[in-house]
């Protein structure tokens, strides 16, 4: 029995190997033919791809130019709106700076007037507890009135009532007015300086926005001109409506 099985194995395995080898070689030959002649597999009614014509290229380029012109036009319109907003913000900041300067100028004039009065000798008054109480009441009334006018902050009013930062209720009312006027003038000067800083920042923002609007407007005009050759050559677009006017934005602060 073992001899029969061994005989069948020896005789049949080489035959199977020969058959599989022949099939493998046949498959390789078919693949080589298909790779070398791919057009045999293409349907006869499928035309070969051809290069685009000059008209098709021109049409595609026109579509791209139109799309670019529309995008630039939208960007230019947005930049123009931004420039108008920035210019309006700068005008508002300039108006606030002018009001701050007027307030400082008024406070400085009052401080000079009180300083002149303070140079005179103070009236002789008896230095009694009642006199000191009267002077303290006068200081509190004057400081409260200045607070309700907006000349003093809540913190400064607290310093007056707490006798801090140089507020001495024992001084004569004339001296108190001199100190009060100087404090108000210094506060108005700080307000003006802060307003001037905001105005300069708003002016720079408006200037940059105006320049961006001008550049995009010129690019939008040039893109439209490429679509319509009959348009006049692109010119510099006037942005005077957007650009902040060059004005005297600095005022000399008088020494107190």
Q: What is the 3-state secondary structure (H, E, C) of the chain?
A: CHHHHHHHHHHHHHHHHHHHHHHHHHHHHHHHHHHHCHHHHCCCCCCCCCCCCHHHHHHHHHHHHHHHHHHHHHHHHHHHHHHHHHHHHHHHHHHHHHHHHHHHHHHHHHHHHHHHHHCCCCCCCCCCHHHHHHHHHHHHHHHHHHHHCCCCCHHHHHHHHHCCCCCCCCCCHHHHHHHHHHHHHHHHHHHHHHHHHHHHHHHHHHHHHHHHHHHHHHHHHHHHHHHCCCCCCCCCCCCCCCCCCCCCCCCCCCCC
pLDDT for 6-24, tens place per residue?
445 445 555 655 666 666 6
Q: With respect to residue 2, please indicate whether it lies within any of the assigned structural domains.
A: no
How far apart (Å, rounded) are the C-alpha atoms in residues 142 and 137? 9
Q: With respect to residue 39, please indicate whether it lies within any of the assigned structural domains.
A: no
Supply the range of the domain harboring residue 95. 57-121+201-246
Query: Which of the four pLDDT bands, split at 50, 70 and 90, describes residue 33?
Result: low
pLDDT for 120-139, tens place per residue?
555 566 677 788 788 888 88
pLDDT for 102-125, tens place per residue?
999 999 998 888 766 555 555 566
Query: Which of the four pLDDT bands, split at 50, 70 and 90, describes residue 72?
Result: confident
Number of domains in the chain: 1
pLDDT for 198-233, tens place per residue?
999 999 999 999 999 999 898 888 888 877 766 555
The residue with greater pLDDT, 42 or 193, is: 193
Q: With respect to residue 52, please indicate whether it lies within any of the assigned structural domains.
A: no
pLDDT score recorded for residue 102 = 93
Q: With respect to residue 117, please indicate whether it lies within any of the assigned structural domains.
A: yes
Q: With respect to residue 154, please indicate whether it lies within any of the assigned structural domains.
A: no
Q: With respect to residue 127, please indicate whether it lies within any of the assigned structural domains.
A: no
Q: With respect to residue 220, please indicate whether it lies within any of the assigned structural domains.
A: yes
pLDDT score recorded for residue 110 = 86
pLDDT score recorded for residue 6 = 45
Count other Cβ atoms within 10 Å, centred on residue 98: 14
pLDDT for 162-203, tens place per residue?
888 778 888 888 888 888 888 899 999 999 999 999 999 999
Q: With respect to residue 99, please indicate whether it lies within any of the assigned structural domains.
A: yes
Judged against a pLDDT cut of 90, whether residue 39 lies above it is answered with no
pLDDT score recorded for residue 71 = 86
Judged against a pLDDT cut of 60, whether residue 244 lies above it is answered with no
Please state whether the predicted TM-score (pTM) of the whole model is above 0.85: no
């Amino acid at each position: 029995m073992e001899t029969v099985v061994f005989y069948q194995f020896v005789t049949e395995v080489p035959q199977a190997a020969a058959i599989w080898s022949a099939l493998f070689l046949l498959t390789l030959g078919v693949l080589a033919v298909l790779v070398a002649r791919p057009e045999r597999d293409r349907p006869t009614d499928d035309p070969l791809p051809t290069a685009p014509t000059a008209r098709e290229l021109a049409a595609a380029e026109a579509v791209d130019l139109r799309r670019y012109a529309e995008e630039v036009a939208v960007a230019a319109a947005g930049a123009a709106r931004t420039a108008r907003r920035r210019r309006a913000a700068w005008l508002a900041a300039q108006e606030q700076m002018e009001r701050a300067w007027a307030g400082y100028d008024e406070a400085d004039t009052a401080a000079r007037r009180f300083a002149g009065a303070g140079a005179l000798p103070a009236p002789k008054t008896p230095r009694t507890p009642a006199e000191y109480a009267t002077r303290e009441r006068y200081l509190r009334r004057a400081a409260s009135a200045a607070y309700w006018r907006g000349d003093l902050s809540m913190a400064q009013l607290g310093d007056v009532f707490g006798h801090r930062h140089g507020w001495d209720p024992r001084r004569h009312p004339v001296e108190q007015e001199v100190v009060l006027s100087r404090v108000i003038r210094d506060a108005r000067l700080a307000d003006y300086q802060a307003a001037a800083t905001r105005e300069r920042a708003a002016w720079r923002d408006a200037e940059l926005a105006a320049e961006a609007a001008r550049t995009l407007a010129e690019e939008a005009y040039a893109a439209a001109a490429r679509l319509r050759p009959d348009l006049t050559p692109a010119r510099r677009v006037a942005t005077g409506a957007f650009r902040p006017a060059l004005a005297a934005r600095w005022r000399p602060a008088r020494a107190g």
